[in-house]
Amino acid sequence: MTFQIGDKVIYPNHGLGIVERIEEKTILGTTCGFYHLRIAANDTTVLVPLANVDGVGLRRAIDDGEVDRLFKLLGDGKIDSQQNWKGRFKDNSEKMRTGSIYDVADVLKSLTLLSKSKSLSFREKRMLDRARFLIITEVAEVTSRGATSVEGILDQALSKCIAARSRNIEKAKAAKTPVKVATVKLAVAKRAKAS
């Protein structure tokens, strides 16, 4: 993927950046091209080798159509919830490194759900905050809305997601219960008939 000066790009785990320059540098006798990015959140500079754009997950910011898709995903009620802390943290860390806003949304949903039932570890709390920040800042930039407005929409989508998940779990439990009762009644009837 190639970018031009002035393009808004997303640098995984850091958020929105602007391509300020494209330059060549010689390091240890090797000349390479670099994107010179200015990260909007903290006004830092990052150099990304042109040859390593895909490796680091640098991508364009989403467009308006993708914002709608993102909020549908955030409110869909489908949440991966792994119980093992170590496995969950590893999976979530990998998703955060991909740079995909949809992977970040998955992390946000799972950690938000988990935070409703127990206290998160310091590292997971920090990851939850980071995921929220990355989504809010990108959507605010793309839609030209304020961060507070986007945060309200995000919170509504997450509440909808958790409520939908709860309804789905209750439906699944309700669907299993009649089967168990019918199975027990059938077993009792067979025993009575055999006697």
pLDDT digits (tens, 9 = 90+) for 102-148: 999 999 999 999 998 889 999 999 999 999 999 999 999 889 899 99
CB 61 within 8 A of CB 8: yes
Please report the pLDDT score of residue 166 as a whole number.
Answer: 86
Q: Which residues of the chain have pLDDT under 70?
A: 177-195
- State pTM to two decimals: 0.79
Please report the pLDDT score of residue 164 as a whole number.
Answer: 87
Please report the pLDDT score of residue 178 as a whole number.
Answer: 58
Torsional sign, CA 81, 142, 100, 46? negative
| Phi, psi of 146, rounded to the nearest 5 degrees | -75, 155
Please report the pLDDT score of residue 152 as a whole number.
Answer: 94
Which domains are seen in the chain, by residue range?
8-60 (2.40.10.170), 64-164 (1.20.58.1290)
Pair type for strands 44-49 and 8-11: unpaired
- What's the rounded Cα separation, in Å, for the pair 22 and 115? 42
Please report the pLDDT score of residue 173 as a whole number.
Answer: 81
Please report the pLDDT score of residue 9 as a whole number.
Answer: 93
Q: Using only the alpha carbons of the chain, give its radius of gyration.
A: 23
